C-alpha cells in the first residue's frame, strides 16, 4: 500500500471510519453532525455507515460532555464534538472537575477513554466567540492529555492513539488546517501521544511551535535559509505530555529557543516551556528564551485587525534575527 494525499478533514473521517469498524464501542456525539457530516466535513460518510453510532444532541455542551463521560466510564469510547473550542467554556465543570479527576479519585478502577474534539484558532474572521486558542487552560488541569496536530498524518495518527487511550484527551485542531493536505501512511498508522517531531533541521536557533503556527514557522525558516540562517523547527504535536527530551537535544545544539503559538501571549503555553528551559537548560543558552503569541485582546472580526492581533511570518523572521544579533 502506498501513501495517499488527504486533507486534515479527510484524514479524520478515514481514521474514525477505521476505528469504528474495528471497535464497536467507538461512537461520535455532538450537535448537527448527522445532517452535514460535521461542519468541516470531518465526519463525512460516517452517519450513513454507522447510523446508530453518530448521535445528534441538543445544543448543550454540558450535556454532550456529561453524556460522553458517562459512556466512557461504562465501557464505551466516545468522541465528543464541541463544534468550536470556544464552546468548551460551557462544559468546564464536566471537563475539569469530572473528566480529568474521576480515574484518580477511583484509584484507577475506572477508565475514562474519552476524546474531546475542539476546533480552535483564528484567521477566518469568525470573531471573538469563535477564534480562540485555549489549550493552556487544560495544560493546567492534571488528568488530561492535550494534542495539537498540524499535518494530516498526525491528525490520523494522534486521533487513532487518542481513541485507544484509556485516559481523556483534548484534541485541538485548527480550523484553518482542515483543508491542508499532505501524505498519510497506509495501514494502522499511529503517532504516540507525547512525541514531538523535527519538521526542519537547523543549527542556529530552535523554534518550538504547534498547530497552525507550524506552517508559519516553516515558511519563516525557508525565507531565513536564503539569508544563511538555519532554523530548526520542532512541531510539538502534543503539549501534555510534553516531549522535553527532544526540546533539550535541539537547544543543546542551537543555544537559542523561540516559542511560537497563536494563543494570547500572557499565560500561554509558551510561558511554561520557557520556564522549563530556563530551569533545566540555562547553561546552554546564548540568549534569553523568547516568545511570540497573539496580542492580549479578543480576536477581532475585521480581517486587517485580526491579522494585526495574530502572529505573522514577518514577526517570526524579525524575532529570529533579533535573537541571533544579541
Measured at the CA of 128, the angle between CA 126 and CA 129, to 5 degrees, comes to 80
Which residues share a beta bridge with 183?
5
pLDDT score at 214: 98
Across the chain, where does the E strand assignment appear?
4-7, 26-30, 54-56, 77-81, 115-120, 145-147, 169-174, 181-184, 197-200, 205-209, 231-235, 238-240, 257-264, 290-294
Q: State phi, psi for 264 to the nearest 5 degrees.
A: -50, 145
Cell of 105: 479519585
Which residues share a beta bridge with 198?
234
Which regions in the chain score pLDDT beneath 70? 1
pTM for the model stands at 0.95
pLDDT digits (tens, 9 = 90+) for 203-228: 999 999 999 999 999 999 999 999 99
Lookup result for grid cell 464536566 = 94
pLDDT score at 37: 79
Domain at 197-324, CATH class: alpha beta
Mean pLDDT estimate for the chain: 95
Measured at the CA of 10, the angle between CA 216 and CA 175, to 5 degrees, comes to 40
pLDDT score at 1: 65
What is 4-184's CATH topology? Rossmann fold (3.40.50)
Q: Would 4-184 and 197-324 be classified into the same CATH topology?
A: yes
Q: State phi, psi for 235 to the nearest 5 degrees.
A: -90, 110
State the Cα torsion 179-183-185-189 to the nearest 10°: -40
Q: Give the three-class secondary structure for 308.
A: helix
State the distance between the two ends of the chain, measured CA to CA, in whole angstroms: 50
8 A C-beta contact, residue 162 and residue 171: yes
pLDDT score at 8: 96
How is the chain split into domains, by residue range?
A: 4-184, 197-324
pLDDT digits (tens, 9 = 90+) for 57-89: 999 999 999 999 999 999 999 999 999 999 999
**Active-site position among 36, 129, 130, 180:** 130
- Our answer to whether residue 174 is catalytic in this structure is no
pLDDT score at 41: 82
Amino acid at each position: 500500500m502506498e501513501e495517499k494525499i488527504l486533507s486534515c478533514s479527510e484524514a479524520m473521517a478515514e481514521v474514525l471510519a477505521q476505528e469504528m469498524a474495528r471497535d464497536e464501542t467507538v461512537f461520535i456525539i455532538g450537535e448537527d453532525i448527522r445532517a452535514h457530516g460535521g461542519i468541516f466535513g470531518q465526519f463525512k460518510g460516517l452517519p450513513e455507515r454507522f447510523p446508530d453510532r453518530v448521535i445528534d444532541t441538543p445544543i448543550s455542551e454540558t450535556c454532550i460532555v456529561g453524556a460522553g463521560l458517562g459512556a466512557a466510564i461504562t465501557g464505551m469510547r466516545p468522541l465528543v464534538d464541541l463544534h468550536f473550542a470556544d464552546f468548551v467554556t460551557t462544559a468546564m465543570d464536566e471537563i475539569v472537575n469530572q473528566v480529568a479527576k474521576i480515574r484518580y479519585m477511583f484509584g484507577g478502577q475506572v477508565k475514562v477513554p474519552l476524546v474531546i474534539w475542539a476546533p480552535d484558532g483564528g484567521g477566518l474572521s469568525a470573531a471573538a466567540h469563535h477564534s480562540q486558542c485555549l489549550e493552556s487552560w487544560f495544560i493546567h488541569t492534571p488528568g488530561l492529555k492535550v494534542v495539537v496536530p498540524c499535518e494530516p498524518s498526525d491528525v490520523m495518527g494522534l486521533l487513532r492513539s487518542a481513541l485507544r487511550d484509556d485516559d481523556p484527551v483534548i484534541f485541538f485542531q485548527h480550523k484553518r488546517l482542515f483543508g491542508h493536505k499532505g501524505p498519510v501512511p497506509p495501514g494502522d498508522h499511529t503517532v504516540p501521544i507525547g512525541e514531538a517531531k523535527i519538521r526542519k533541521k537547523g543549527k542556529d536557533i530552535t523554534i518550538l511551535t504547534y498547530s497552525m503556527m507550524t506552517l508559519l514557522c516553516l515558511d519563516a525558516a525557508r525565507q531565513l535559509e536564503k539569508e544563511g540562517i538555519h532554523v530548526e523547527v520542532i512541531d510539538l504535536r502534543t503539549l501534555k505530555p510534553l516531549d522535553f527530551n527532544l526540546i533539550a537535544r535541539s537547544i543543546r545544539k542551537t543555544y537559542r529557543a523561540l516559542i511560537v503559538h497563536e494563543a494570547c501571549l500572557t499565560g500561554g503555553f509558551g510561558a511554561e516551556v520557557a520556564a522549563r528551559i530556563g530551569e533545566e537548560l540555562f547553561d546552554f543558552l546564548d540568549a534569553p528564551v523568547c516568545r511570540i503569541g497573539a496580542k492580549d485582546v479578543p480576536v477581532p472580526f475585521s480581517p486587517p485587525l485580526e491579522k494585526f492581533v495574530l502572529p505573522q511570518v514577518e514577526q517570526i523572521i524579525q524575532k529570529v534575527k533579533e535573537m541571533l544579533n544579541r
